A and B are shown apart, each in its own frame.
Chain A
Amino acid sequence: MQAFNVDQVRADFPILTERVHTKPLVYLDSANTSQKPEAVLKAMDDYYRHANANIHRATHLLSERATALYEGSRAKAAAFLNAPDLRTIVLTKGTTDGINLVAQSYGRSTLKPGDEILLTWLEHHANIVPWQLVAEQTGAVIKVVPINEAGELDLDQYAALLSSRTKIVAIGHVSNALGTINPVKVMIAQAHATDAVVLIDGAQATPHLVVDVQALDCDFYVLSSHKMYGPTGTGVLYGRASLLEAMPPYQGGGDMIASVTFEKTLYNQVPYKFEAGTPNMAGVVGLGAAIDYLAGIDRDAALAHEDAVLDYATAQVRQIPGARIVGEAKHKTGVLSFVLDGVHPHDAGTILDQQGVAVRTGQHCAQPVMDRFGIPATIRASLGIYNTREDIDALVLGLHKVRELFV
C-alpha cells in the first residue's frame, strides 16, 4: 500500500480529464454518484470479453469463470465489511433494493399492528418510503428521531423514543443531505437493549469510512456500489445469518430455489435465497474491483485528505457574502450543503455547470431535512477521494459569478 497521493488517485479516474462547456470538469457530486477508476472499467470490460456466461447454472468453462468472479466479489464484500462469513452477504441492486428487501422480507413477516419502526429526520427517501409501505401493510407505526439546528440527531429523544414497541430501527450512517456522521455504534447498542433489530444505511458512509459490521454489531447494513467508485445497479446487504435464515424470500425466480414443483418449492440457502434471477454480474465484478481499489489505498490517509478538503471548502464558502451552511454537525464527512441569499440553488447549479463545476442542487431525496430547515433546496458540493483544494477554488469562483449575476 502506498501513501495517499491525490494526483495519483486523480490519474486513476479517466473521466476527470473531461471538459464540460469547454471548461475542465470539476466534479463535486460524488454523494450523488462517484466516478469510476480505470481498474473498475477494465474489470467490467474484461468480464464481458473473457468470462461472460450465466453463473451457478452451467458446466462450461465460462460459467465457471463468471461464477468465480461473482462469488469472488462476495468474498471481497465480506472482507470489506468484516462480515463473519459469506452467507451474510446478499448481493443486491443497491441500497434502495437492500432496504426494500429487509422491509418486505423481515419487516412484513414480523411486524404486528402497533409495533414501531424508528427512523430519523436525516433519512434519505430510500430509508423512509420502504418502511412506510411495510407500515401500511402491517399496521406498524413510524416514529422519527428529531435533529437539532446543527443537523445532528437528538440522542435524548432517540433514547426516549426507544421502547418495547420498537421492533426495527433504521438509521443512515452518514446523512446524504448534510454529511452528518451519526453515532451508530452507540445507537445500535441502545436499540438492542430494547430488543429492536437495527438496519444501517451505509450508502454515504462506505465511500469514506472503514466499516466493520461486527464491531458495530448491526443486524443489517446496506450499501451501493456506485457511491464507492463501483458501477451502478449493484450493492450489498449484510444481514445477521440467523435473521437471514429465518426470513422469507423477497423475490421468487431462478437461482433462489433448491427444487421447484407445482406442489412445493424448496428455497436455496442464504444468501442465494435472496438472489432471484440472473444478477448484474458485470456490475458485481466491477464492485469487486472497486473494493480492491479501495483496499489498495491508505483509507485513513484518504479520509484525512477528504476531511481537509471539506474543512477548506467550509471555510471558503462561509466567507462568501450571503452564504449559509446547512448542517454544521461536529462529525461530518464528504458533504457541504449550503444556500445563498437571494439565489435559488437551481439557478446556482446551472451557472456553476456552465463553468465546469458539477454540484447537486435540490432536495437530495431528503425532503424532511429541507422542511426541517425551512428551505426548498440546497446547493450540495460533495467530495470523493479525488477532490482537491483547487476544485473548491473553482467552486468559490463560480459562486462569485452566481452572485454577480443575481445579487
Chain B
Amino acid sequence: MSELTDLYQEVILDHNRRPHNFRVIEGATSQEGYNPLCGDRLTLYVAMDGGVIRDVAFQGSGCAISKASASLMTDALKGKTADEARALFDQFHAMITSDHAGPTADLGKLSVLAGVREFPTRIKCASLAWHTMKAAVAHHSDATVSTE
C-alpha cells in the first residue's frame, strides 16, 4: 500500500475535498478539457493582464487526482507569463511521466503529484488540467499576437 499512499497523499486528498480556485472568472478566456475514458471534465478560466496570468480558476468534475492537479496548478500559475506557464507544463509533464524516480526540477507543492508516475493509467488524470491550460494559453497568446 505504500505506493498508494504516495499517490493519495494528504495534500492531494485535501485539494480534492476543498479545491482552490474552484470558481468561474467572468470575462476570462475559458477552455474545456475532457477525458472521454473516465468522464473527467473541466473548464479552465485564465485572465491575462499584460502578458501575465492575473487570475486562473476552474470548474468541473473529476477524480481526486485530476481535481487536486487542477487545484495545485491554478495556485502555481498566478503571476506567471505564458512562456513560464508553458515551461512549467513541460517540467510537470516530465515529473509525472519520467521513468526513474530520480530528481527532476523542484516543483514545490506540485511535487506531491510525482507519485502518479507509478500509476500509468492515472497520468492522464493528472495532466488533464495542464493540457487544458496549454491550450488556453496558446489560445490567448494567439489572440494577443493578432492584436499587436
A positions within 8 Å CB-CB of B: 344-347, 350-351, 354, 361-363, 367, 370, 376-377, 405-406
The verdict on A346 contacting B125 (CB below 8 Å), with A363-B39, A376-B39 known, is: yes
Contact of B40 among A346, A367, A370, A405 (CB under 8 A): A346
Smallest distance from the beta carbon of B30 to chain A beta carbons, Å?
20
Task: Report A-chain residues with C-beta under 8 Å of the C-beta of B4.
Answer: 350-351, 354, 405
Q: How far is the CA of A363 from the CA of B1 in the complex (A)?
A: 27
Task: Report A-chain residues with C-beta under 8 Å of the C-beta of B40.
Answer: 346, 376
The CB with the most chain A CB atoms within 10 A, among B13, B38, B122, B125, is that of B38
Output the nearest chain A residue to B4 by Cβ-Cβ distance: A354
Task: Report B-chain residues with C-beta under 8 Å of the C-beta of A361.
Answer: 38
Q: How far is the CA of A367 from the CA of B62 in the complex (A)?
A: 15
Contact with A along B111-132 (1 / 0, CB 8 A): 0000000010110010000000
Smallest distance from the beta carbon of A400 to chain B beta carbons, Å?
13
By the criterion CB–CB under 8 Å, are B64 and A377 in contact?
Answer: no
Q: How far is the CA of A106 from the CA of B3 in the complex (A)?
A: 52
By the criterion CB–CB under 8 Å, are A362 and B7 in contact?
Answer: no
> B134 contacts the other chain (Cβ, under 8 Å)?
no
- Can you list 28 residue pairs at the A/B interface with Cβ under 8 Å? A344-B61, A344-B63, A345-B63, A346-B38, A346-B40, A346-B63, A346-B65, A347-B63, A347-B64, A350-B4, A350-B7, A350-B119, A350-B121, A350-B122, A351-B8, A354-B3, A362-B37, A362-B38, A363-B36, A363-B39, A370-B39, A376-B39, A376-B61, A376-B62, A377-B39, A405-B4, A405-B8, A406-B64
Task: Report B-chain residues with C-beta under 8 Å of the C-beta of A405.
Answer: 4, 8, 13
Smallest distance from the beta carbon of B22 to chain A beta carbons, Å?
15
Output the nearest chain B residue to A405 by Cβ-Cβ distance: B8
Smallest distance from the beta carbon of B125 to chain A beta carbons, Å?
6
Please report whether the interface of chain B is mostly helix, strand, loop or mixed according to DSSP: mixed
Q: How far is the CA of A36 from the CA of B115 in the complex (A)?
A: 34
Interface residues of B in 41-62 (CB under 8 A from A): 41, 61-62
B positions within 8 Å CB-CB of A: 1, 3-4, 7-8, 13, 36-41, 61-65, 119, 121-122, 125
The CB with the most chain B CB atoms within 10 A, among A350, A354, A376, A405, is that of A350
Q: How far is the CA of A270 from the CA of B83 in the complex (A)?
A: 62
By the criterion CB–CB under 8 Å, are A362 and B39 in contact?
Answer: yes
Task: Report A-chain residues with C-beta under 8 Å of the C-beta of B39.
Answer: 362-363, 367, 370, 376-377
Q: How far is the CA of A406 from the CA of B7 in the complex (A)?
A: 13
Task: Report B-chain residues with C-beta under 8 Å of the C-beta of A362.
Answer: 37-39
Smallest distance from the beta carbon of B9 to chain A beta carbons, Å?
11
By the criterion CB–CB under 8 Å, are A347 and B65 in contact?
Answer: yes
The verdict on A354 contacting B1 (CB below 8 Å), with A344-B63, A406-B64 known, is: yes
Task: Report B-chain residues with C-beta under 8 Å of the C-beta of A363.
Answer: 36, 38-39
The verdict on A406 contacting B13 (CB below 8 Å), with A347-B65, A354-B3 known, is: yes
The CB with the most chain B CB atoms within 10 A, among A347, A351, A354, A376, is that of A347
Q: How far is the CA of A71 from the CA of B45 in the complex (A)?
A: 59
Q: How far is the CA of A346 from the CA of B36 in the complex (A)?
A: 13
Q: How far is the CA of A350 from the CA of B62 in the complex (A)?
A: 14
By the criterion CB–CB under 8 Å, are B38 and A377 in contact?
Answer: yes
Smallest distance from the beta carbon of A301 to chain B beta carbons, Å?
36
Smallest distance from the beta carbon of A369 to chain B beta carbons, Å?
12
Q: How far is the CA of A363 from the CA of B39 in the complex (A)?
A: 7
Output the nearest chain A residue to B1 by Cβ-Cβ distance: A354
Smallest distance from the beta carbon of A210 to chain B beta carbons, Å?
34
Output the nearest chain B residue to A355 by Cβ-Cβ distance: B1
Output the nearest chain A residue to B121 by Cβ-Cβ distance: A350
Task: Report A-chain residues with C-beta under 8 Å of the C-beta of B36.
Answer: 363
Task: Report B-chain residues with C-beta under 8 Å of the C-beta of A376.
Answer: 38-41, 61-62
Smallest distance from the beta carbon of A231 to chain B beta carbons, Å?
23
The 9 closest A-B pairs by CB, nearest first: A344-B63, A346-B63, A376-B39, A377-B39, A346-B38, A347-B64, A362-B38, A347-B63, A354-B4
